[in-house]
A and B are shown apart, each in its own frame.
Chain A
Amino acid sequence: MELPDEPTADIALTLNGEAIRARVPLRQNLVDWLRHGAGLTGSHVGCEHGVCGACHVQVDGVVVRGCLMLAVQADGAAVETIEGATSSGRIRALQDAFFNRAALQCGFCTPGMLLQAAELLERNPDPSRAEIREALSGNYCRCTGYHAIVDAVQAAAASLRA
Chain B
Amino acid sequence: MPDTALPPDGWIGRPMPRAATRRLIEGRGRYTDDNAAKGELHAAFLRSPFPHAAFGITGRDAARALPGVRAVLTAEDLAPFCRSWRTESRAFPGLVSPEQGPLARERAVYQGEPVALVLAASRAIAEDALELVEVEWDELPAVTDPAKALDAASPSTHQGLTSNLAWRTEFGGGDVEAAFASAALVVEERFTFTRHTGVPLESRSVLATYDPAAEALEVRMSHQIPHQMQVHLADLLDLPMGRVRVIAGDVGGGFGIKMHVYPDEVAICAASRLTGRPVRYVCDRIEALMADIHAREHVMQARMAVDAEGRILAFDADDIQGLGAYSIYPRSSTVEAMSVLRTVGAPYHFGAYRARLRCALQNKVPTGQYRSVGHPIGCATTERLMDLAAAARGEDPLEFRRRNFLPEAMMPWTNPAGGRMAELSHTATLAEFERLLDLPGLRAEIAAMRARGRCVGLGFSAVVEYTASGPGAYGPAHVPVAAMDTVVVTLEPTGDVVARASVAEIGQGIQQGIVQVVADAVGVPPSHVTIHTGDTASAPHGGGAWASRGAGVGGEAAWGAGRKLRAEILKTAAALLQSAPEALDLRGGQVVDANGTPRMALADLASTVFFRGHELPGGVQPQFTATHQFRREEDVFLTTNGLQASLVEVDPDTGIVTPLRHWVVGDCGRLLNPLLVEEQVRGGVVQGIGEALLEACRYDPGNGQFLTGTLADYLLPMADNACDITVGHVETPYSGSALGAKGAGEAGTCGAPAAVLNAVNDALASRGARVSELPITPTVILRALGTLEASE
Chain A positions within 8 Å of B, measured between CB atoms, are: 1, 3-6, 25, 27-28, 35-36, 40-49, 51-52, 54, 81-83, 86, 95, 98-102, 104-111, 114, 129, 132-134, 136-150
B:661-693 near A, CB below 8 Å:
675-676, 679, 682-687
Instruction: Assess the A137–B27 pair: CB atoms within 8 A.
Output: no
Q: Which residues of A contact B124 (CB under 8 A)?
A: 3, 6, 25, 27-28
A140–B679 Cα distance when bound, in Å, is: 16
B200 in the interface, Cβ–Cβ < 8 Å? yes
Pick the most buried of A47, A105, A149: most chain B CB atoms within 10 A of its CB.
A105
B128 to chain A, nearest CB (A): 9
A–B complex contacts, Cβ < 8 Å, 30 sampled: A35-B33, A35-B34, A41-B29, A42-B28, A42-B29, A44-B252, A45-B282, A48-B285, A99-B22, A102-B18, A102-B21, A102-B676, A102-B679, A105-B507, A105-B509, A107-B25, A107-B29, A107-B507, A140-B201, A141-B201, A142-B199, A142-B253, A143-B679, A144-B683, A145-B683, A145-B717, A146-B717, A146-B722, A147-B724, A150-B719
Q: Which residues of B contact A133 (CB under 8 A)?
A: 719-720, 722
Q: Which residues of B contact A114 (CB under 8 A)?
A: 25
B340 to chain A, nearest CB (A): 23
Q: Which residues of A contact B202 (CB under 8 A)?
A: 44, 46, 106, 108
Instruction: Spot the interface stretch: B159-167, B379-387, B708-716.
Output: B708-716
Pick the residue among A109, A111, A145 that contacts B686 (CB under 8 A).
A145
A107–B682 Cα distance when bound, in Å, is: 16
Pick the most buried of A27, A43, A133, A145: most chain B CB atoms within 10 A of its CB.
A145
B255 in the interface, Cβ–Cβ < 8 Å? yes
Pick the residue among B682, B712, B718 that contacts A147 (CB under 8 A).
B682
A54–B721 Cα distance when bound, in Å, is: 18
Pick the residue among B27, B253, B285, B725 that contacts A43 (CB under 8 A).
B27
Interface bits B584-613 vs A (CB < 8 Å: 1, else 0): 000000000000000000000000000000
Given contacts A42-B28, A114-B25, contact A145 B685 (CB under 8 A): yes
Given contacts A1-B121, A105-B507, A132-B719, contact A148 B27 (CB under 8 A): no
Instruction: Assess the A139–B719 pair: CB atoms within 8 A.
Output: yes
A100–B21 Cα distance when bound, in Å, is: 10
A48–B289 Cα distance when bound, in Å, is: 13
Q: Which residues of B contact A81 (CB under 8 A)?
A: 27
Instruction: Assess the A54–B712 pair: CB atoms within 8 A.
Output: no
A96–B192 Cα distance when bound, in Å, is: 44
Instruction: Assess the A107–B21 pair: CB atoms within 8 A.
Output: yes
A146–B201 Cα distance when bound, in Å, is: 14
In the A-B complex, the 4 residue pairs with the closest CB atoms: A42-B27, A107-B24, A106-B507, A4-B67
Given contacts A107-B250, A143-B507, contact A95 B26 (CB under 8 A): yes
Q: Which residues of A contact B34 (CB under 8 A)?
A: 35, 41
Q: Which residue of B lies closest to A111 (CB)?
A: B27
A103–B676 Cα distance when bound, in Å, is: 10
B91 to chain A, nearest CB (A): 30
Q: Which residues of A contact B255 (CB under 8 A)?
A: 142
B548 to chain A, nearest CB (A): 14
A39–B710 Cα distance when bound, in Å, is: 28
Q: Which residues of B contact A82 (CB under 8 A)?
A: 26-27
Instruction: Assess the A106–B719 pair: CB atoms within 8 A.
Output: no
- Excluding A47-B710, A49-B712, A102-B18, 17 further A-B contacts by CB distance (< 8 Å) are A46-B201, A47-B285, A49-B711, A100-B17, A102-B509, A106-B251, A106-B506, A108-B31, A108-B252, A142-B683, A143-B507, A144-B686, A145-B684, A145-B686, A145-B722, A150-B719, A150-B724
A138–B719 Cα distance when bound, in Å, is: 8
Q: Which residues of A contact B711 (CB under 8 A)?
A: 47, 49, 51-52, 140
B780 to chain A, nearest CB (A): 23
Instruction: Assess the A107–B724 pair: CB atoms within 8 A.
Output: no
Given contacts A46-B201, A142-B255, contact A51 B687 (CB under 8 A): no
Q: Which residues of B contact A1 (CB under 8 A)?
A: 121-122
Pick the residue among B253, B679, B720 that contacts A148 (CB under 8 A).
B679
A41–B67 Cα distance when bound, in Å, is: 27
Q: Which residues of B contact A83 (CB under 8 A)?
A: 26-27
Given contacts A46-B285, A95-B26, A142-B683, contact A5 B67 (CB under 8 A): yes
Instruction: Assess the A42–B285 pair: CB atoms within 8 A.
Output: no
A14 to chain B, nearest CB (A): 18
B471 to chain A, nearest CB (A): 29
B:472-513 near A, CB below 8 Å:
506-509
A142–B684 Cα distance when bound, in Å, is: 9
A100–B506 Cα distance when bound, in Å, is: 19
Q: Which residues of B contact A109 (CB under 8 A)?
A: 201
Q: Which residue of B lies closest to A101 (CB)?
A: B17
A49–B506 Cα distance when bound, in Å, is: 25
Instruction: Assess the B506–A98 pair: CB atoms within 8 A.
Output: no
Instruction: Assess the B24–A52 pair: CB atoms within 8 A.
Output: no
Given contacts A104-B24, A106-B200, contact A143 B683 (CB under 8 A): yes
Q: Which residues of A contact B282 (CB under 8 A)?
A: 45
Q: Which residues of A contact B719 (CB under 8 A)?
A: 132-134, 136-137, 139, 141, 146, 149-150
B646 to chain A, nearest CB (A): 13
B:708-752 near A, CB below 8 Å:
710-712, 716-722, 724-725, 748
A105–B253 Cα distance when bound, in Å, is: 8
A133–B718 Cα distance when bound, in Å, is: 8
A131–B290 Cα distance when bound, in Å, is: 34
Pick the residue among A3, A40, A46, A147 that contacts B122 (CB under 8 A).
A3
A43–B509 Cα distance when bound, in Å, is: 22
A22 to chain B, nearest CB (A): 16
Q: Which residues of A contact B22 (CB under 8 A)?
A: 99
Instruction: Assess the B687–A145 pair: CB atoms within 8 A.
Output: yes
B613 to chain A, nearest CB (A): 41
B716 to chain A, nearest CB (A): 6
Instruction: Assess the A108–B201 pair: CB atoms within 8 A.
Output: yes
Q: Which residue of A lies closest to B198 (CB)?
A: A142
B700 in the interface, Cβ–Cβ < 8 Å? no
Q: Which residues of A contact B284 (CB under 8 A)?
A: 48
B:19-49 near A, CB below 8 Å:
21-31, 33-34, 36
B545 to chain A, nearest CB (A): 11
Q: Which residues of A contact B675 (CB under 8 A)?
A: 102
A41–B255 Cα distance when bound, in Å, is: 23
B81 to chain A, nearest CB (A): 27
A110–B25 Cα distance when bound, in Å, is: 6
B484 to chain A, nearest CB (A): 25
Q: Which residues of A contact B121 (CB under 8 A)?
A: 1, 3-4
Instruction: Assess the B27–A86 pair: CB atoms within 8 A.
Output: yes
Q: Which residue of B lies closest to A87 (CB)?
A: B26
Instruction: Assess the B26–A42 pair: CB atoms within 8 A.
Output: yes
A107–B253 Cα distance when bound, in Å, is: 9
A115–B38 Cα distance when bound, in Å, is: 32
Pick the most buried of A25, A81, A147: most chain B CB atoms within 10 A of its CB.
A147
Pick the most buried of B284, B508, B683, B684: most chain A CB atoms within 10 A of its CB.
B683
B424 in the interface, Cβ–Cβ < 8 Å? no
B68 in the interface, Cβ–Cβ < 8 Å? yes
A56 to chain B, nearest CB (A): 11
Q: Which residues of B contact A86 (CB under 8 A)?
A: 26-27
